[in-house]
């Protein structure tokens, strides 16, 4: 069977399964999640064996250490996957809720019912835990899922897919509600994003290269973010202690995450006080600072100093590197952010009420913060309970996307024979 025929078959099966998933009640969906979690615990040894096959191939192919790290499934990782599913069972079921049901002057009642999107296609790289997390979120939200993991993880994903099917069947749900694409042929990705008749939304999880490619190719809407160029602006009315704490955390708590600060903006009148103090924190972590003229002058003795170029304002380093710019005040800070930010997460440090309110209103990003670390932009931290990804598009879901982002609302009209006049 050629790859397009195979993917169309998967799509048709997913569409059919999605109709049954949309009708499933909460207990049934939770039972499936619990059965999958139990099967994962039971088959931990088999999963590790499958993972060993993937790791052996990865080593033979000379994959880089970071990739092998992401690919590795430890006993702890297996336990975490099972716990993640059990956490999803405890989240409220969004499906079927009817809101704003009100009588209209004509006599009809009009409200909105929350419903699944239908079929979700998820495209990701080496991490096998995404297979289970994504399956869990799609099942709970009444969707069918088509999962296309990285070819490096094919053995492990195949083993996980078997356990997911077992759990679905055990709860009386269609096994094809979660399908793992069982081929390493890269054409499968192209086919998956080209069948809007079977797939309602694509969630790509991976590097910028993958997502840029999919943006060009996809005929299906996506919930995605391309990069996270996050800013912290230290205002001249900032509490210095909060500024130091937040800016150290936002850069250094983790380097590889999309909500890490990549550019620091500092108000001119406090720059010569704040920057040297921040430098005494960053120097321990060997953070390279890429400075504009003014901040370079202030930080002249800092050992890991470079001059910033225009390109630095547009760069997501994902590394111990930080761009630094001195600005005249909150206006220039907002201008800089709205020009260069990737509309992910931006934070102001200030004790000034009006500037805080202006920053919240005027910065056009999916998360805007006052006196908090950008690292908080996360589904768990926001109380969504789980996260399929973060969106920095404006349509549909914006910011961390949990179960609700995998749903839509339709209008329901309850009448008594009313007609339009």
Q: Which two tokens stand for residue 209?
A: 């290269």
CB 126 within 8 A of CB 67: yes
Assess 21 for contact with a copy of itself (CB under 8 A): no
| Per-residue binding letters, 37-76, with a copy of itself (x by CB under 8 A) | ----------------------------------------
Contacts of residue 282, Cβ cutoff 8 Å, sequence gap at least 6: 248, 251, 252, 289, 304, 322
Least Cβ distance, residue 114 to a copy of itself (angstroms) = 11
Assess 17 for contact with a copy of itself (CB under 8 A): no
Closest CA to 19 of 200, 204, 191: 200
Long-range contacts from 278-281, C-beta under 8 angstroms, 24+ separation: 278/243, 278/244, 278/247, 278/248, 281/244, 281/247, 281/248, 281/252
Binds a copy of itself by CB under 8 A, chosen from 66, 101, 283, 413: 413
- DSSP E strands in 161-316: the ranges are 178-180, 201-205, 230-234, 261-267, 288-291, 305-307
268-297: contacts with a copy of itself (CB under 8 A): none
Identify the bridge partners of residue 38 per DSSP, sorted by sequence position: none
Binds a copy of itself by CB under 8 A, chosen from 65, 209, 241, 311: 241
Least Cβ distance, residue 293 to a copy of itself (angstroms) = 27
Instruction: Determine the size of the site formed for a copy of itself (CB under 8 A).
Output: 66
At 180 the three-state DSSP class reads: strand
Q: Which is nearer to a copy of itself, 149 or 228 (CB)?
A: 228
Q: Which two tokens stand for residue 178?
A: 């979660």
96-115: contacts with a copy of itself (CB under 8 A): 96, 102, 104, 106, 108, 110, 113, 115
In angstroms, the CA 145 to CA 201 distance is: 10
Assess 404 for contact with a copy of itself (CB under 8 A): no
Q: Which is nearer to a copy of itself, 160 or 356 (CB)?
A: 356
Binds a copy of itself by CB under 8 A, chosen from 50, 337, 368, 388: 368
CB 259 within 8 A of CB 291: no
In angstroms, the CA 57 to CA 158 distance is: 15
Assess 314 for contact with a copy of itself (CB under 8 A): no
CB 173 within 8 A of CB 24: yes
Least Cβ distance, residue 21 to a copy of itself (angstroms) = 12
Burial, 63: exposed, middle or buried (Cβ in 10 Å; 0-12, 13-18, 19+)?
middle
Least Cβ distance, residue 375 to a copy of itself (angstroms) = 4
176-235: contacts with a copy of itself (CB under 8 A): 200-201, 221
Nearest 5°: the CA angle 288, 344, 146 is 115
| Per-residue binding letters, 109-148, with a copy of itself (x by CB under 8 A) | -x--x-x-xx------------------------------
Assess 242 for contact with a copy of itself (CB under 8 A): yes
| Per-residue binding letters, 320-349, with a copy of itself (x by CB under 8 A) | ------------------x--------x--
Q: Which is nearer to a copy of itself, 10 or 199 (CB)?
A: 199
Q: Which is nearer to a copy of itself, 45 or 98 (CB)?
A: 98
**Cα→Cα distances 259→228, 336, 385, Å:** 6, 18, 18
User: String of b and e for 191-214 (b: at least 16 CB within 10 Å)?
Assistant: bbbbbeebbbbbbbbbeeebbeeb
Q: Which residues bind a copy of itself (CB under 8 A)?
A: 19, 22-23, 96, 102, 104, 106, 108, 110, 113, 115, 117-118, 200-201, 221, 239, 241-242, 245-246, 248-250, 253, 338, 347, 360-362, 364-373, 375-377, 381-383, 393-396, 398-400, 408-420
């Amino acid at each position: 069977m050629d790859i397009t025929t195979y993917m169309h078959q998967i799509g048709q099966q997913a569409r059919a399964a999605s109709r049954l998933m949309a009708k499933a009640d909460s207990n049934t969906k939770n039972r499936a999640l619990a059965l999958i979690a139990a099967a994962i615990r039971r088959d931990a040894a088999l999963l590790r064996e499958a993972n060993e096959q993937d790791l052996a191939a990865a080593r033979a192919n000379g994959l880089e250490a970071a990739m092998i790290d992401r690919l590795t499934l430890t006993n702890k990782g297996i336990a975490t996957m099972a716990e993640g599913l059990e956490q999803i069972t405890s989240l409220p079921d969004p499906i079927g809720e009817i809101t704003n049901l009100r009588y209209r002057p004509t006599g009809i009642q009009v409200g909105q019912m929350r419903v699944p999107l239908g079929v979700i296609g998820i495209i990701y790289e080496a991490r096998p835990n995404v297979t289970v997390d994504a399956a869990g979120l799609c099942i709970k939200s009444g969707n069918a899922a088509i999962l296309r993991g990285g070819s490096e993880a094919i053995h492990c994903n195949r083993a996980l897919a078997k356990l997911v099917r077992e759990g679905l069947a055990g709860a009386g749900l269609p096994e094809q509600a979660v399908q793992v694409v069982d081929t390493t042929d890269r054409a499968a990705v192209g086919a998956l994003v080209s069948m809007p008749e079977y797939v309602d939304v694509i969630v790509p999880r991976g590097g910028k290269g993958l997502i840029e490619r999919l943006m060009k190719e996809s005929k299906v809407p996506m919930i995605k973010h391309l990069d996270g160029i996050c800013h912290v602006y230290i205002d001249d009315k900032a509490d210095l202690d909060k500024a130091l704490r937040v800016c150290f955390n936002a850069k250094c708590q983790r380097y590889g995450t999309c909500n890490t600060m990549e550019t620091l903006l500092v108000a001119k009148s406090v720059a010569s006080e704040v920057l040297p103090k921040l430098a005494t924190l960053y120097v321990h972590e060997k953070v390279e600072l890429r400075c504009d003229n003014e901040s370079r002058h202030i930080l002249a003795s800092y050992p890991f100093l470079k001059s910033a170029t225009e390109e630095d304002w547009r760069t997501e380093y994902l590394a111990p590197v930080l761009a630094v710019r001195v600005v005249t005040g909150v206006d220039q800070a907002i201008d800089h952010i709205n020009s260069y930010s990737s509309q992910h997460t931006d934070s102001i440090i200030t004790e000034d009420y009006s500037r805080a309110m202006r920053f919240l209103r005027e910065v056009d990003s999916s998360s805007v913060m006052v006196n908090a670390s950008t690292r908080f932009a996360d589904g768990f931290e926001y109380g969504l309970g789980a996260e399929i990804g973060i969106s920095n598009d404006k349509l549909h879901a914006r910011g961390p996307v949990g179960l609700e982002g995998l749903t839509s609302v339709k209008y329901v009209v309850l009448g008594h024979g009313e007609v339009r006049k």
